[in-house]
Amino acid sequence: METAELVFVPSSGVGHLVSTIKLVTQFLDRHRRFNATILVMKYPFTPTPTDGISDPPPPTAAVSPATPRIRVVHLPLPPDPPSRQILSLSFEKYYSLYMESYKTLVKNAIIDIAVPVVGLVLDIFCSSMIDVGNELGVDSYIFFTSGAGFLGSMFHIETRDRQIGVEFDKSEADSIIPYFAHPVPMGILPQFAFNGGGGFSSMALHARKFKESKGIIVNTFAELEPYTLSSLSEDGIPPIYTVGPVLDLESENRPTPDENQSKEIRVWLDNQPPSSVVFLCFGSRGCFTPAQVMEVAKGLESSGVRFLWSLRRPPPPHKKFELPSDYTDLNDVLPEVFHERVKGKGRVCGWVRQVDVLAHRAIGGFVSHCGWNSVLESIWHAVPLVAWPQYAEQQINAFVLVRELKLAVEMKIDYHRDCGYLVTADQIEKAIRCLMADDDAGKEVRKRMKEISRKSRNAVIHGGSSYISFQNLIDTMLA
């Protein structure tokens, strides 16, 4: 039997990397002809003595081969990376140029593969590698680790760049974007959409390159975003393959939290009534200023709802790309005697395995930053959401959840972590009460979440929408 080799080029962000590894294993599970090579690039934000940037790379366990059918190639640093000065203008532009600086190394790695390559699967920040595929005569596919809503917004940005050539302005009126059923407020577009220093143009260029691909693999399912997917299929865009939800349900590729803390949390959750606890967690980069922490604490206490809050320390200002860390003593940032006042009803902790917590029967709500992996995990476990986005495309995700799909209660969907705006205790209390209470609004969100959760699980089984779409992708690759 002839081997069909796939080459995957993920970017080095944790969420992108974990989703890619799970997609690789699904390809191998679905067809015995497939083998995979994963090309792993160095994380760009390693410490240097002069720039003060320090951000530890994602866990290497995420790219450890679990089978001889997967080969992992760790590429060296690129010979000509972009200047760090670009970071002061645009993270997206710097990161895109950094990925592009790997083109020669990626090309040479593919040439060294002893068997024919049937497909090059690229992360959204690696769209420039389509040029490598074209040069080598290999079809390129984009693996879009976020949802169809964000994909639609990127194509809208590309259209504006092509027709007007000027970034968005926050003073503009709500925008009619053809991929959404409702008008889109300017405030929920990603920050790069307003960045004239390269963010807007670099992301528009990615979307333009997507149109040169053989197809776009999206981590969503047809029943979740039908309006957007239908609009995308009518717009001259390459075929969309919905293969989601692609999830790391076993947390095997996630950073390891404190095991003693994890055991204590499990015991505490075991002693709570079913669906009674609201879980607050904001992803690997989620953190707040001390003033915002105080507002969250007051809002939680006033709500009277049982809660589990994963609270993390922001990095120092001179190391803004460093990941948050756990507090040595949570009392340093929480209100005085807060633990005593909420004893028995609330618990504050550090880093936890989010998907493990969401799977627990005691969890009845999730205050989330709306990262797409978190959204899909919440849907899978039928946990309704309070949407509180922080950065990147999370505002678009929050808009989709609250306005388009009505699967979440709004905290503040146009919130950006660096905007200086303080979400008040009253807003936090109101959103949590709305989600967890037995009034019509809370019941409707919970009902809709249960329905879409069932559909998410049906999508990936034999005969489901994502199962069929994945098979169409496989047939195209093997043809």
Per-residue pLDDT tens for 356-367? 999 999 999 999
pLDDT given for residue 65 in this prediction = 57
Residue 8 three-state SS: strand
- pLDDT tens-digit profile of 307-340? 999 999 888 877 776 778 888 888 889 998 998 9
DSSP secondary structure letter of residue 239: P
What residues does 123 pair with on adjacent strands?
143
| Residue 271 in tokens | 């002693």
pLDDT given for residue 250 in this prediction = 78
| Residue 464 in tokens | 């489901």
Contact partners, residue 336, CB within 8 Å, separation at least 6? none
**C-beta separation of 309 from 342 below 8 A:** no
**C-beta separation of 209 from 158 below 8 A:** no
Amino acid (1-letter code) at residue 109: A
pLDDT given for residue 196 in this prediction = 96
C-alpha span between 246 and 219 (Å, rounded): 6
pLDDT given for residue 195 in this prediction = 96
For the chain, give the mean pLDDT.
91
C-alpha span between 450 and 444 (Å, rounded): 10
Contact partners, residue 5, CB within 8 Å, separation at least 6? 34, 35, 36, 37, 113, 115, 116, 117, 118
DSSP secondary structure letter of residue 325: B
C-alpha span between 71 and 66 (Å, rounded): 9
Residue with tokens 């920040």: 125
| Residue 282 in tokens | 């904001």
Continuous segment of H or E residues that includes residue 442: helix 440-459
Amino acid (1-letter code) at residue 422: L
Contact partners, residue 436, CB within 8 Å, separation at least 6? 278, 303, 305, 364, 365, 442
C-alpha span between 170 and 152 (Å, rounded): 19
C-alpha span between 189 and 393 (Å, rounded): 8
pLDDT given for residue 24 in this prediction = 95
* 4-9, strands of its sheet edge to edge: 70-74, 34-40, 4-9, 117-123, 140-144, 215-218, 240-242
Distance between start and end Cα atoms, the chain:
15
Global pTM value: 0.93
| Residue 137 in tokens | 């005569």
DSSP per-residue codes, 387-428: E---STTHHHHHHIIIIIS--EEES-TT--TTS-----HHHH
Domains observed in the chain: 4-244+460-478 (3.40.50.2000), 259-456 (3.40.50.2000)
Sign of CA dihedral 154, 407, 191, 15: negative
**C-beta separation of 218 from 148 below 8 A:** yes
Q: How many Cβ atoms are within 10 Å of 237's Cβ, its own excluded?
A: 18
pLDDT given for residue 418 in this prediction = 79
Q: What are phi and psi of 198, to 5 degrees?
A: 130, -20
pLDDT given for residue 180 in this prediction = 97
Residue 6 three-state SS: strand
Which positions are annotated as active-site residues?
16, 123
C-alpha span between 99 and 9 (Å, rounded): 10
**C-beta separation of 29 from 20 below 8 A:** no
pLDDT tens digits for the chain (479 residues)? 688 999 999 987 777 888 898 999 999 999 999 999 999 998 887 544 334 333 344 444 445 556 789 999 999 999 999 999 999 999 999 999 999 999 999 999 999 998 889 999 999 999 999 999 999 999 999 999 999 999 999 999 999 999 999 999 999 999 899 999 999 999 999 999 999 999 999 999 999 999 999 999 999 999 999 999 999 987 789 999 999 999 988 755 555 677 888 899 999 999 999 999 999 999 888 889 999 999 999 999 999 999 999 999 888 877 776 778 888 888 889 998 998 999 889 999 998 999 999 999 999 999 999 999 999 999 999 999 999 999 889 999 999 999 999 999 999 999 988 787 899 999 999 999 999 987 777 889 999 999 999 999 999 999 999 999 999 999 999 99
pLDDT given for residue 203 in this prediction = 98
Closest CA to 419 of 289, 293, 299: 289
C-alpha span between 185 and 156 (Å, rounded): 14
